[in-house]
Structure 1
Amino acid sequence: MLTPHHPSPGIADPQQTLFARHLASYGDRPAILGPDGDLSYRELAERVAETADRLGTDHRRLVLLAGANTVDALVVYLAALAAGHPVLLVPGDNDDAVRSLTAAYDPDTVARPDAAGRWVIDERNPVSAHELHPELALLLSTSGSTGSPKLVRLSYDNLQANAESIADYLGIREDDRAATTLPLHYCYGLSVVNSHLLRGAALILTGLSVSDDAFWTLFRDRRGTALAGVPYTFDLLDRVGFTEMDLPHLRYLTQAGGRLAPERVTEYAGLGRRRGWDLYVMYGQTEATARMAYLPPGLAATHPQAIGVPVPGGTFRLQPHPDWPGRDTGELVYAGPNVMLGYADRPTDLRLGRTTDELHTGDIARRTADGLYEIVGRSSGFAKVLGLRIDPQQTESLLARHGFTAYCTGADGTLVVAVAGHAGTDPVEVRRIVTAACGLPARAVHVHVLPELPRLATGKPDYQAVRALGCLPAEIPARSTGRTDLRCLYAEILDRSDVTEDSSFISLGGDSLSYVEMSIALEEALGHLPDDWHTLPIRELADVRTELDPNPGPRAERRRRRRLETGIALRAAAIVFVVGSHIPDVFYIKGGAHLLLMVAGFNLARFHLTPSAERRDRVRNLGRAIGRVALPSMAWIGLVMLVNDDYDLANLFLLNSILGPHGDTPRMQFWFVETLVYLLIALVALLALRAVDRAERRFPFALPMAVVAAGLTTRYDVFGLTDRFHVPEAAALLWLFTLGWAAAKSSTVRQRWLVTAVATATVPGFFPGLQPFREALIIAGFATLVWAPSLPSRGWINRAAGILAGSSLYIYLTHWQIYPHFQGSYGWLALFTSLALGIGYAEVATRVARKLPALLRHARGVHTSARAAEVS
């Protein structure tokens, strides 16, 4: 047990940080609640005492701690504070930051996990290499996620005072249980830890995101009472259906880390009032240890634009500013016991004492008649563009009023605007709004439409990344090497010009048709493709080659083991089976089309039903997926109708499965395409419902399994519908499609066994007569998809499979018109010709699809010009 002691002369007296030294006083109360077990305060105190002994009690040393939301990291943090060692807290998930700050500050001790995930304490210097000021307790980065050597120096008094003021205005109680929704190395996340430990409350210690179902399971099981979030956290809460959640023990939400739009404040304040919890809007900076102001919950609904009043023990004053005239407006200056000692830019600064008495926030504020403070701008945030002073924050607010979410910053004499959007977002409109309001020419405003705006690990805007966009040309250059190579690869295959290092295949709107070409190209470029490559940002994929072999030579390239994604292998094999089985005297391997349907469901869930995608984006992307299937199908059928009468208008509009005729006729040849389109349309209609979208996010596996159960009623015709009227093939095959969906969402061994068992039990008996081989093929292929994400392969096999899989739809469409021209002993020639011409049609259709948007924009421009000429 750690008990108060008098430190030796070489150690500063850390008695001020009572929350770190008096843990044992709370006895057997729960301190840490986690998915892997709990710790009482007594047990936590014992672990802290043991670690403090390891860190040493004879000499103060600078301890670099790789921050993480884990028990090990928390224990090292508390032990260092309790033993009087200053802590340099860095983001543990950023190896570059750890290396950079280790090199810049030469810490005496480094605490971080090793390659196997075990925490180690590396004692680099037995006696500190630095002169450490007695009051120095903590060093934090102002940005929270980079390796910048500019750090904030915080004292023991700073930490204790801020923890006490936060615990005071939040009314933290011993029975509170706060979830660690923010990183430990971020001052806001750290303040949650400090203030709750001060009051003997419990921490639900987790690194899970609020977008993860497992987080909410843990939060409910541990009877969570408090949640903290930055504005982006609240976006995620919207996506996961927070408004409908039953959280009976929740007492309050806190928000800081950036401005939450007033309408969102009003919305959540009202929700809290109805559900019995409070919303605390807060304002702070790392330089003030975390918090400077809070808005009392009772005022959130009526004053949603305010940051509120100073925290207990703090004061504000408004310093006049020449750009913001007015008696009640000026730069916000804060004073209080939580104001930092000062900044550190180099190791010699660690010996400095207090160099700052009050904090000039850089924010322009005004004081209302009610005594509340509101932020109205930035004193140092102006961008100088062509001699004009532009306030990027006001520009962001302007665009928000027009329905655009954007980050703005100045870069090299231009205003860079990053706007969240999709392929339909018009950058010209955004530029017009900005130029009209700011008086800038269009050439001075660079607009970049991104699937997701860049954010730091804390969820705050990453303005450095936005500024870097100003250096990018409008068009991404041809392929080269490294990360630029991958960006160009993504831009070329997905036909996007807004690719950044933070883009992923999913965020750029990739789908099952483009993922084949993308995965094969990446596998060739990297030599190894992670199973979750489609969700990884390009910056992480670019490191795969380096991790595999930092200096690959020709021999290394030959030695690389190639893998082929199972989904691609199944699509390639299935389309060959389908075509070959239709040609006499080649082979008869049935079941390929039904296996393709299961793979389609699998890919749909994998690429379109990701937790990070908003409901409208899901619906929009699914709509595009329908178009990518329906339009080339209708185009081919229309062409065939010009030369023969095999098909009619029902075929052209993909309605034959409904209108008929039914039976073994040429007009039933496109049943697979019609079934797939119908199922996609049904899914779009389903997910367009807010309640269903929320249910899918909360129960990503249970929902498709429920649809599977519903589909089995038509598979077994439980209600006898086929005796009364025609049931479209899509209804009978719904269960197969949604089994693929469920397989993509199966995240545990039990779930994978369940989907495999359902397929094994329900596929037999579906086809008329005795067809055991056909049933075995479908079950075996599906089981391989579920249990083996990829298969051993060779480079040439990957390329061939990629071409076949990527062209599978087009091969299916065209082969009906190809193979009948080969009679007699030319069956294999018919097969290869059908595959080749289908691949050719795929190439033509892909080129047309990529050029079509530009052609349509040009046509609209010509039409607009003609109308203008008529008017004039």
Structure 2
Amino acid sequence: MSFGDRPALITAGGTVSYADLAARVAATARRLGGSPRLVMLSGANTVDAVVAYLAALSGGHPLLLVTAGAAGDLAAAYDPDVVLHPTAGGLVFEERRAASAHAVHPDLALLLSTSGSTGSPKLVRLSLDNLQANAEAIAEYLDIRPTDRAATTLPMHYCYGLSVINSHLLRGAGLILTELSVTDACFWDLFRAERGTAFAGVPYTFDLLDRIGFERMRLPHLRYVTQAGGRLAPDRVRRYAALGRRAGWDLFVMYGQTEATARMAYLPPELAPTRPSTIGVPIPGGSFRLSPLPEGAPGTGELVYSGPNVMLGYASEPADLALGRTVDELHTGDIARRAPDGLYEIVGRCGQFAKIRGLRIDPLRVEHLLDRHAVTAYCVGGDDELLVAAREPADPARVRRLVVAGTGLPPGAVRVAAVAELPRLPSGKPDHAAVRGLAFPTGLSPADDLCALYAEVLDVDGVTPDHSFVSLGGDSLSYVEMSLRLERALGHLPVDWHTTPIRSLRAPSRPRRRHALDTTVALRAVAIVLVVGTHATLFNLSGGAHLLLGVAGFNFARFHLTGAGRGERLRHIGASIRRIAVPSVAWIAAVMLVSGQYGLPSLFLLGGVFGPSPGWSGWHFWFVEALVYILAVAAALLAVPALDRLERRYPYGFPIGVLLIGLLTRYDVFGLREHYHVPSAVRVFWLFAIGWAAAKATTGWQRAVVTLAAVVTVPGYFDDPAREAVVLAGLVLLIWVPSLPSAGVVNRVAGVLAAGSLYIYLTHWQVYPRLDHHNALLAVVASLAVGLAYAALAPLVRRAAAALVRRARAAARFRRSRANARASISKPRAFALDRQESP
């Protein structure tokens, strides 16, 4: 340790300098003795564990590094001479014998379980040269500096977590030692307080980061984030790379195996946006080759790695500890291709091992595990889940618990099917290929079958039972269809179904005869009928559009102002604006082409900004324009971190403040209307604020305050008592009555009308004028029918357009790839130099 007083190990309780660390390591090494003994250490992200690890290496004692849960099995299999247990009270020594009972090769320094297969007697044998070479390579391409401070987000016994320790200590950097999860606010408090510059994650870590709103965190000293332990989806690589560019840090996507000490390849950060599906280039000092496979696709082969970090070999029993090097290169078991630009891409597996949620799982060992519990089963794995076919009378729930306990996989990654007979080949051997064809229930809850329904209605991918309607970006436009489809599927919906995880939605044990209709759905259905009926002179009950503004504010608060991160909130609001603006602009453009009725201000939803002119009919879309503007302004406000925090802290008081500001224009306090044209959005957004406040009112007195605001402000606004009564009655219902007694057929009719309300509003201007002078009722029915037809057509057009965009992007990526390939062929040495010099 030559870094003196520089901080080496940083914990919430204090800091250990490099000089102090060296002294502690020396003292522990002396206690371990001068003759090599097999030492087993339960790894932990603590000072004592790091000291013990370094002491064993420096003293020449081969170290078996294990997780606490596997310590018993591995101790029984390898009979260590010394067992070390880091505890809250210090490092506990269990010295079983003074001299080693094992013959150990002098090069052997470290024994690790293969990635994820904790408890397996099959271990990876590593030398000090392996550890040194891999740490130096990692430190080189990450450009680790003495000023860096990396947090220990991964277990020490996992080769990835251990590589973080090795590479940073090599360069004199600091380690923020913690076993806190990234979901714990205390982790980030410590990270910020200690000026953290780096942390590492497996794909599941990034799932957790998404949930906690990582993108809005302020981490001023963060310099780089690394990812390994399984494939991170290319779109997420792009997203995190873009987030890093904006925030000033780099994303390093990496590839490795325990058999290579840790790392074999990395993707230079500047290539992450354009080549996110690749593993990149070999680490400094390493190289790849492709070994042809008998039935491999052209240009592919098994990826074989060579380098000074390749393990000595495997150990399956204590006698193997005496072996020297038995492996010169590493056959990874991954099928890969090399692109013309020199980047490698994994395209499959040629063995049975599967990487699931960052863990390398051997399905055969899972079968053996279950056999020990009197369960006969066949297992196959993929990138996302382990499939287990168990012979009856096995209980799928019990089988899942055994697999989860034995592998460390989360329950959602294990699917179990109980079958009468396990599939076999004619030879009598297991037919693992046939296992994939079995019908596997998820086994988590009956609601898992609803994931496909959510994906269909919301037009999103990757729906899991942990998602809810709100977390998937659902809004008022999709709420109605989703509620109708769910009610048909389940027979009944709880009031808070939109925020309830899919896994918690289930049909009632007894069918319910009574039906209830969500008040917002009822108000939207009634309001659009009032709008069309009044315009078609079937009756005269104005106020429907203004009532819809209040409903829009209520739904805005309900669907968008959730506990999600600021970035996710803004994305969902932006999606809602697009769902309103795109079909509106499309309809206006079509009418312009056919009849020339509207002008460019209407086309760009700017009619309310430019104001009326002779013969102007752009006022038709004042409601759409006002709603788009109000949502855009709300998004702009919540994009300000201080205002976002204020809204979260005072979810009811914030809209009350917005309402008070809105009343300035409601009562024209500054007399603007006498001198200027004031857009409708400015004049009416107080109604939106009333709906917003109503959604956030959780107590009787809060609802009473909102009701009082409506009672005081609505009368006198229109100088039309009937119109004001319609708006006020609707707002009072919105505030006090979450649902109305109904019937099944009423729910279906109201749901269809509410879901199509925007489209009906857009199209009725071109329908009723052609019929109302003949028959007003016919004009209303026709207007509703045309609007509903447009509502049915719009999603089809949207999906087709999205498919065209995806194809265009794919074509653009292909053209860029070809251009890069031609460039790399013309300058082959330039890339090689860049690769060697890249940090």
The bucket for the TM-score relative to the shorter chain is 0.5 to 0.7
Q: Does 1:432 align with 2:432?
A: no
Q: Secondary structure at the match of 1:444?
A: strand
Q: Does 1:517 align with 2:463?
A: no
Q: Does 1:599 align with 2:527?
A: no
Q: Secondary structure at the match of 1:661?
A: coil
Q: Where does residue 811 of structure 1 map in the other structure? A: 760
Q: Could you tell me how far apart the structure 1 residues matched to 2:813 and 2:799 are?
A: 23
Q: Could you tell me how far apart the structure 2 residues matched to 1:861 and 1:791 are?
A: 49
Equivalent position amino acid for 2:761 in 1: Y
Q: Does 1:776 align with 2:776?
A: no
Asked whether the equivalents of residues 404 and 419 of structure 1 are also in contact (C-alpha less than 8 Å), the reply is no
Q: Where does residue 449 of structure 2 map in the other structure? A: 485
Q: Where does residue 834 of structure 2 map in the other structure? A: none
Deviations 1:706-730 (A, max 9, x none): 0100000000011111122111111
Deviations 1:782-839 (A, max 9, x none): 1111211111112211111111111111100000000111143411011000000000
Q: Could you tell me how far apart the structure 1 residues matched to 2:68 and 2:558 are?
A: 39
Q: Secondary structure at the match of 2:127?
A: coil
Q: Where does residue 653 of structure 1 map in the other structure? A: 604
Asked whether the equivalents of residues 518 and 739 of structure 2 are also in contact (C-alpha less than 8 Å), the reply is yes
Q: Could you tell me how far apart the structure 2 residues matched to 1:604 and 1:422 are?
A: 29
Shift of 1:485: 3.1
Equivalent position amino acid for 1:320 in 2: L
Q: Does 1:670 align with 2:657?
A: no
Shift of 1:660: 2.1
Equivalent position amino acid for 2:522 in 1: A
Return closer, same or farther for 1:850/1:469 CA change in 2, 3 Å cut-off: farther
Q: Does 1:756 align with 2:601?
A: no
Shift of 1:861: 2.8
Give runs of aligned pairs for residues 115-154 of structure 1, distance below 5 A.
Answer: none
Q: How many residues align?
A: 503
Q: Could you tell me how far apart the structure 2 residues matched to 1:416 and 1:740 are?
A: 41
Equivalent position amino acid for 2:495 in 1: D
Equivalent position amino acid for 1:833 in 2: A
Asked whether the equivalents of residues 406 and 418 of structure 1 are also in contact (C-alpha less than 8 Å), the reply is no
Q: Does 1:839 align with 2:629?
A: no
Return closer, same or farther for 1:590/1:393 CA change in 2, 3 Å cut-off: closer
Return closer, same or farther for 1:576/1:257 CA change in 2, 3 Å cut-off: farther
Q: Where does residue 326 of structure 1 map in the other structure? A: 128
Q: Could you tell me how far apart the structure 1 residues matched to 2:695 and 2:408 are?
A: 32
Question: What's the TM-score, normalizing by structure 1?
Answer: 0.51
Q: Does 1:799 align with 2:644?
A: no
Q: Does 1:500 align with 2:452?
A: no
Q: Where does residue 537 of structure 1 map in the other structure? A: 501
Asked whether the equivalents of residues 45 and 178 of structure 2 are also in contact (C-alpha less than 8 Å), the reply is no
Shift of 1:616: 1.3
Q: 1:583 aligns with which of 536, 554, 573?
A: 536
Q: Could you tell me how far apart the structure 1 residues matched to 2:467 and 2:739 are?
A: 23
Q: Where does residue 313 of structure 1 map in the other structure? A: 90
Asked whether the equivalents of residues 634 and 652 of structure 1 are also in contact (C-alpha less than 8 Å), the reply is yes
Q: 2:513 aligns with which of 549, 555, 560?
A: 560
Q: Could you tell me how far apart the structure 2 residues matched to 1:467 and 1:430 are?
A: 28
Give runs of aligned pairs for residues 310-389 of structure 1, distance below 5 A.
Answer: 311-314=88-91, 320-321=110-111, 322-326=124-128, 365=162, 368=169
Shift of 1:750: 1.5
Q: 2:667 aligns with which of 716, 727, 730?
A: 716
Equivalent position amino acid for 1:432 in 2: S
Q: Does 1:702 align with 2:653?
A: yes
Asked whether the equivalents of residues 233 and 277 of structure 2 are also in contact (C-alpha less than 8 Å), the reply is no
Equivalent position amino acid for 1:541 in 2: L
Asked whether the equivalents of residues 550 and 690 of structure 2 are also in contact (C-alpha less than 8 Å), the reply is yes
Shift of 1:703: 0.9
Asked whether the equivalents of residues 600 and 740 of structure 1 are also in contact (C-alpha less than 8 Å), the reply is yes
Q: Could you tell me how far apart the structure 1 residues matched to 2:819 and 2:745 are?
A: 59
Shift of 1:866: 5.8
Q: Where does residue 444 of structure 1 map in the other structure? A: 348
Q: Which of 1 and 2 has greater Rg?
A: 2
Shift of 1:325: 3.4
Q: Does 1:467 align with 2:413?
A: yes
Q: Could you tell me how far apart the structure 1 residues matched to 2:694 and 2:500 are?
A: 20
Q: Could you tell me how far apart the structure 2 residues matched to 1:423 and 1:518 are?
A: 28
Asked whether the equivalents of residues 419 and 448 of structure 1 are also in contact (C-alpha less than 8 Å), the reply is no
Return closer, same or farther for 1:588/1:448 CA change in 2, 3 Å cut-off: farther
- Any stretches of 5+ residues in structure 1 without a counterpart? 1-167, 171-255, 260-283, 289-308, 331-358, 378-391, 410-414, 455-460
Q: Where does residue 683 of structure 2 map in the other structure? A: 732
Q: Secondary structure at the match of 1:669?
A: helix
Q: Does 1:572 align with 2:525?
A: yes
Q: Could you tell me how far apart the structure 2 residues matched to 1:405 and 1:560 are?
A: 55
Report the identity percentage. Answer: 43
Deviations 1:381-440 (A, max 9, x none): xxxxxxxxxxx966779999999897956xxxxx68699699999999786144767964
Q: Could you tell me how far apart the structure 1 residues matched to 2:633 and 2:736 are?
A: 28
Q: Could you tell me how far apart the structure 1 residues matched to 2:580 and 2:758 are?
A: 8
Equivalent position amino acid for 1:444 in 2: G
Q: Where does residue 105 of structure 2 map in the other structure? A: none
Q: Secondary structure at the match of 2:644?
A: helix
Equivalent position amino acid for 1:766 in 2: Y
Aligned-pair Cα RMSD in Å: 4.8
Equivalent position amino acid for 1:314 in 2: L
Q: Secondary structure at the match of 1:624?
A: helix
Return closer, same or farther for 1:856/1:435 CA change in 2, 3 Å cut-off: same
Asked whether the equivalents of residues 579 and 815 of structure 1 are also in contact (C-alpha less than 8 Å), the reply is yes
Q: Does 1:640 align with 2:417?
A: no
Q: Secondary structure at the match of 1:432?
A: coil
Asked whether the equivalents of residues 707 and 735 of structure 2 are also in contact (C-alpha less than 8 Å), the reply is yes
Deviations 1:483-502 (A, max 9, x none): 34311211111112211111
Equivalent position amino acid for 1:602 in 2: F
Q: Could you tell me how far apart the structure 2 residues matched to 1:513 and 1:422 are?
A: 29
Deviations 1:510-567 (A, max 9, x none): 111111100111122222211111111111013xx1xx21xx6xxx4xx522211111
Asked whether the equivalents of residues 203 and 357 of structure 2 are also in contact (C-alpha less than 8 Å), the reply is no
Q: Could you tell me how far apart the structure 2 residues matched to 1:465 and 1:416 are?
A: 20
Q: Where does residue 608 of structure 1 map in the other structure? A: 560
Q: Could you tell me how far apart the structure 1 residues matched to 2:547 and 2:408 are?
A: 44
Q: 2:773 aligns with which of 804, 818, 824?
A: 824
- Any stretches of 5+ residues in structure 2 without a counterpart? 1-11, 15-42, 47-65, 71-85, 95-107, 112-123, 133-154, 180-199, 210-221, 243-271, 283-287, 289-302, 304-333, 337-345, 350-354, 359-383, 386-406, 417-434, 823-839
Asked whether the equivalents of residues 234 and 277 of structure 2 are also in contact (C-alpha less than 8 Å), the reply is no
Question: What's the TM-score, normalizing by structure 2?
Answer: 0.53
Shift of 1:862: 3.3
Q: Could you tell me how far apart the structure 2 residues matched to 1:464 and 1:560 are?
A: 39
